[in-house]
Amino acid sequence: MTIDLTVIILAFNETRHLRRCISSARSIAKRIVVVDSFSTDDTASLAIELGAEVLQNKWVNYSTQFNWALDRAAVDTRWVMRLDADEIVTDELADSLGATLAALPESVAGVTVNRRIYFLGKWMRHGGIYPAPMLRIWRSGRGRCESRWMDEHVVVQGGVQHASGDISDINLNNLTWWTTKHNYYASREAVDLAMLREGRAGEDFQTGMSRQARMKRWIKVRIYARLPLGTRAACYFVFRFFLLLGFLDGWRGFAFHVLQGFWYRFLVDAKLFELERILQQQGLSLTDAVKQEYGYEI
């Protein structure tokens, strides 16, 4: 059933995923808008071929790009949905979403759905990875993405409720691509943590977030960020893999939690240590150091 809904998809070189993503959203969305960061492949032309509207804008970070899309897409539908190019709307969500949205009172501005993450072809069901309600749908004009370098969430003006059904994150790229992406993420998160230590990034436990997002950020800022560099990555891996039963996903679950729960988090800490060392040795401001090392304007 088509819903009065605009789906916004950010994309860069996503020909491998885009057909699947748009096809899954077409059954529910009145409009599909692809915001392309000047891809070097056929992403833009493929999106047009599949019936989507295409906007193009230079990439800065996710929150900047998504808010630019909200401002430029002239959204005229009642609802907006955020969907990544490597994600799909499951049949269960497509079948239930229209009735769910229609039944919500006007006081509810945002809707969370669960996300299934697949790694090396396997759904990661354990280790605290699923279910993980994410605010992905909101009333037009009542939600925007936080201005953060990493771990950004949509914040809405109003209440939040949960919808039955999932989106599936099934990335088809190889592990080299995955580790390259997480290396990039680690730089952004190190910058975010350095800004937090300098008091330049708020803690932002906002009521307009989903409950899961507020809890995750509280733990990250009030507990995790205060633990010693490096050792906290090991503690996090043990917590996810053993206490939250990540080992039940077998060898691929082990690979996922080692890479995403330990290697990535340790890399963030190492980059934060490196960045703070540069500040001390070179006498630079954080703004200048980040510009010098990563090319980011903060």
Q: Are residues 83 and 204 in the same domain?
A: no
Residues 6+ positions from 261 with CB-CB distance below 8 Å:
127, 233, 236, 237, 240, 241, 246
Secondary structure of 146-170 in HEC code, one letter for each residue: CCCCCCCCEEECCEEEEEEEEEEEC
User: What confidence tier does 72 reach under pLDDT thresholds 50, 70, 90?
Assistant: very high
Q: Quick check: 204 pLDDT over 70?
A: no
Q: What is the pLDDT of residue 159?
A: 95
Does 181 lie in the same domain as 129? no
Position 202 pLDDT exceeds 60: no
158 in the same domain as 243: no
Q: Which residues contact 169 (CB under 8 A, 6 or more apart)?
A: 84, 86, 87, 115, 116, 117, 118
For residue 59, the model assigns a pLDDT of: 95
At 232, the amino acid letter reads R
Residues 220 and 281 in one domain: yes
| 23 torsion bin: left (phi>0), alpha (psi -120 to 50), beta (else) | alpha
Tens digit of pLDDT for each residue in 129-145? Answer: 999 899 999 999 999 99
How many domains, the chain?
2
Per residue in 60-71, pLDDT (tens digit) is 999 999 999 999
Domain of residue 115 covers 3-169
Contacts of 3 (CB under 8 A, 6+ apart): 28, 29, 30, 79, 97, 98, 101
User: Using an 8 Å Cβ cutoff, are 110 and 45 in contact?
Assistant: no
pTM of this prediction? 0.93
What pLDDT is recorded for position 214?
Answer: 83
Point out the domain boundary residue: 169, 185, 213: 169
Of 169, 196, 230, the position where a domain reaches its end is 169
121 and 24 part of one domain: yes
CB atoms near residue 67 (< 10 Å): 16
Same domain for 156 and 59, yes or no, is yes
| Same domain? 67 vs 193 | no
Residues 132, 191, single domain; the answer is: no
For strands 143-145 and 154-156, give the pairing: antiparallel
Same domain, 163 and 188: no
Residue 149 has pLDDT above 90, yes or no: no
Distance CA 28, CA 38 (A): 27
Per-residue pLDDT band for 203 (boundaries 50, 70, 90) equals low
| Predicted pLDDT of residue 123 | 98
Mean pLDDT across the chain, nearest whole number? 94
User: Poorest-confidence range of 2-16, 32-46, 177-191, 202-216?
Assistant: 202-216
| 213 or 262, greater pLDDT | 262
- For the chain, what is the radius of gyration of the CA atoms? 19
DSSP 177-211: HHHHHHHHHHHHHHHHHHHHHTT-S-----TTS-H
Q: Mean per-residue pLDDT for 117-122? A: 98
CB-CB contact of 93 with 166 (8 Å): yes
Using the 3D structure, point to which of 125, 143, 169 is the last residue of a domain: 169
Give percent of the chain with pLDDT exceeding 90. Answer: 84
| pLDDT above 70: residue 206 | no
Please report, to the nearest 10 degrees, the dihedral formed by the alpha carbons of residues 221, 224, 228, 232 taken in order: -150
Residue 207 predicted with pLDDT over 80:
no
Residues facing 63 on adjacent strands = none
Residues 176-188: what's their mean pLDDT? 96
Cα distance between residue 148 and residue 189, in whole Å: 9
Please say whether the dihedral angle defined by the alpha carbons of residues 45, 179, 149 and 298, taken in this order, is positive or negative.
negative
Mean pLDDT lowest among 135-139, 219-223, 285-289:
219-223
- Whether the CB-CB separation of 78 and 108 falls below 8 Å is answered with no
pLDDT at 94 over 90: yes
Q: Are residues 134 and 226 in the same domain?
A: no
- Distance between CA atoms of 87 and 23, rounded to whole angstroms? 11
Considering only residues 223 and 209, tell me which one the structure prediction assigns the higher pLDDT: 223
pLDDT of res. 201: 63
Q: Is the pLDDT of residue 283 over 70?
A: yes
On whether both 100 and 247 belong to a single domain, the answer is: no
Residues 81 and 122 in one domain: yes
Rounded to an integer, the average pLDDT of 121-129 is 97
Which amino acid does the sequence have at 193? L
- Give the model's pLDDT for residue 216: 85
Average pLDDT estimate for 44-64: 96
What are 88's two structure tokens?
């799909």
| CATH assignment at residue 39 | 3.90.550.10
